[in-house]
Amino acid sequence: MRYAVLSDVHGNLEALTAVLDALAPERIDRCLCLGDVVGYGAEPGACLARLEACGAVTVGGNHDLACVGKFSLDWFNEVARAALLWTRDQLSFAELDALRRLPLTAAVEFCTLVHGTLRHPERFEYLVEAGQAIDTLTACRTLMCLVGHTHLPLFLEYDRRERRIARLLTRAGDLAQIPFTDDPEAMRYLINPGSVGQPRDGDPRASCAVIDTARREVHIRRVPYDVAAAQRKIRQAGLPGFLADRLADGR
Ligand code: ZN
């Protein structure tokens, strides 16, 4: 099986389309989406439709749930809140209903999907510390836990027998092709594919992951897309200009 793992699309249809086009020749069996399909970008409805069309298994992110009153707008800064109010007004009843029905977690074969952390999925904490990673992997009942939310790609291997982090990879060069062990008794893996629609690691290209179970490899992929077009749509929509600016340098 080959899984495409996408997260934090954030209404950026240019980036999502580029990623799906790049993966199209690669025989992807299943698309997994870790939330925040909407918010920030100018085409939230079209992004929901694209993911639905490819049969993606999707969990809810803080932006998705805030659109339908299931997560408080008080948690967002001024720019994010303005974008959320705009997004909510763009979406149809059916699209809002689709967001309302997103689960906080999902399990697909050997993968558990969550936007923030597994300990408190409903709080949407940023998983940035080793302790949080170990807590999440201890709560995880499958070989891999796939997370998003930080917009930063990451691969972490936890050795359950020795109770230590065996590998932590965050640098682009280390993430291109990562072997893993298919032994859930010995290992647990935490994988963040980075953000499709609003990368924040200094590389403006869209980020996604491919998990290949036959080769036992994870690939974090970067895909160039038409940043200028996405920026133009954000400005034309009257969304905060900062949301367009930041796409240029991926910060
Ligand atoms: Zn996000």
Question: What residue ranges do the domains of the chain occupy?
Answer: 2-246
pLDDT per residue as tens digits for the range 114-139: 999 999 999 999 999 999 999 999 99
pLDDT per residue as tens digits for the range 183-230: 989 999 999 999 999 999 999 999 999 999 999 999 999 999 999 999
Residues whose CB is less than 8 angstroms from the CB of residue 35 and which lie 6 or more positions away in sequence, other chains included: 7, 8, 58, 59, 60, 61, 62, 63, 64, 102, 115, 148, 149
Distance 164 CA to ligand 1 centre (A): 28
- Tell me the residues surrounding ligand 1 (ion) with CB < 5 Å: 8, 36
What pLDDT score does 250 carry?
95
Token couple for 139: 């709560």
2-246 is a CATH 3.60.21.10 domain:
yes
Distance 116 CA to ligand 1 centre (A): 10
How far is the C-alpha of 149 from the C-alpha of 18, rounded, in Å? 21
Strands 187-192 and 144-146: parallel
DSSP string, 78-113: HHHHHHHHHHHHHS-HHHHHHHHT--SEEEETTEEE
Low-confidence ranges of the chain (pLDDT < 50): none
How close are the terminal C-alpha atoms of the chain, in Å?
Answer: 33
